[in-house]
Amino acid sequence: MKKEVIFIFVAIIFLVACNKDKDKNTEKYQVTVKENFTSPFKQLENIQVGDYIPYQLTITDSERNDNIEYRLAPINEEHSYHQKIWVDFGLYLNDEDNAIHKEKSYISFRKKGTHNFYIRPLMPGSFKHTYEFQKFINGEAIGNPIKLFITFNAVKITVDRTYFKIDDGDEPTDNYLSTKEIEQRYEVKVVFVNYDNEGRIFYNSFSEYGDFTINEKNYLKFIPEGNLERYDSLGIIQKISDSQNFVITYYNLKPNNSNF
């Protein structure tokens, strides 16, 4: 009887110790995420469909173990805000991967430190995402996942010789450029290309201002001769107040522009 009591007592101590170790493992790691843009022409406010939005993930972990894996998985919490992976967006470890990996629901990292990953919107809209960051050892989840929140807007832009069109999504929550209370105008710089009789190329550029309408064709008022080369810039000017404007500018837009 005494031996049985001692055995039970030892087993309880062992289980408590294991739970304490597990709690310690849970507390040892942390993670942060932030945007990681490197181009002055691409920022969070001018994302287009097909862009690879760069993010930087920093993992701190005091534990040393060769069998650690960290997983980042999007959570589909509701039907709105484009939360379905490989339908609304793609999740990548590099910006050269354009495949649709329908069998993958997360990305993983094997080491602590700083890592890059990319979110690629596959349709226009307002995106509000929740991600779970989970540590695993030998395939077993350690502690509770850490929640990370990421939001952005993406538009689809079509440019033509005579007009441009910007779509910001079809869902009721897709309202990046659809706010009726805000007056919006456009400012565009367009470049046309021509050839003289000797075949030499020359360019003709012009700027234009006008009223902007979302999800509809906005026709240019002045159209010079030649072929459309590009829109150097297309700015949407939102009048916040009598003394304040907010400008969203998209750069280097090609005819029949589409990143995706």
What pLDDT, on the 0 to 100 scale, is given for residue 226?
A: 85
Report the share of the chain in percent with pLDDT over 70: 88
**Mean pLDDT lowest for which of 61-65, 76-80, 231-235, 236-240?**
76-80
Cα separation of 207 and 202, whole Å? 17
What pLDDT, on the 0 to 100 scale, is given for residue 53?
A: 98
pTM of the entire structure? 0.85
What pLDDT, on the 0 to 100 scale, is given for residue 260?
A: 55
Cα separation of 100 and 85, whole Å? 9
Cα separation of 9 and 151, whole Å? 51
For the cut 90, the answer to whether the pLDDT of residue 116 exceeds it is: yes
pLDDT band at 77 (very low <50, low <70, confident <90, very high): confident
What pLDDT, on the 0 to 100 scale, is given for residue 14?
A: 40
For 20, list phi and psi in degrees, rounded to 5: -65, -40
What pLDDT, on the 0 to 100 scale, is given for residue 165?
A: 97
Could you report the per-residue pLDDT of 196-206, keeping only the tens digit for each?
A: 777 788 888 99
Cα separation of 223 and 227, whole Å? 10
Average pLDDT in the chain: 88
Could you report the per-residue pLDDT of 9-35, keeping only the tens digit for each?
A: 444 444 444 444 444 444 579 999 999
- The whole-number average pLDDT for the span 174-190 is 92
What pLDDT, on the 0 to 100 scale, is given for residue 259?
A: 53
pLDDT band at 258 (very low <50, low <70, confident <90, very high): low
- The whole-number average pLDDT for the span 165-171 is 96
What pLDDT, on the 0 to 100 scale, is given for residue 114?
A: 98
Helix or strand or coil: residue 126? strand
- The whole-number average pLDDT for the span 221-233 is 90
Cβ–Cβ < 8 Å for 50, 121: yes
Helix or strand or coil: residue 207? strand
For the cut 90, the answer to whether the pLDDT of residue 4 exceeds it is: no
For the cut 80, the answer to whether the pLDDT of residue 49 exceeds it is: yes
What pLDDT, on the 0 to 100 scale, is given for residue 3?
A: 46
The residue ranking higher by pLDDT, 98 or 212, is 212
Report the half-sphere exposure of 36 (CA within 13 A, side-chain side): 17
- The whole-number average pLDDT for the span 28-44 is 95
The residue ranking higher by pLDDT, 1 or 41, is 41
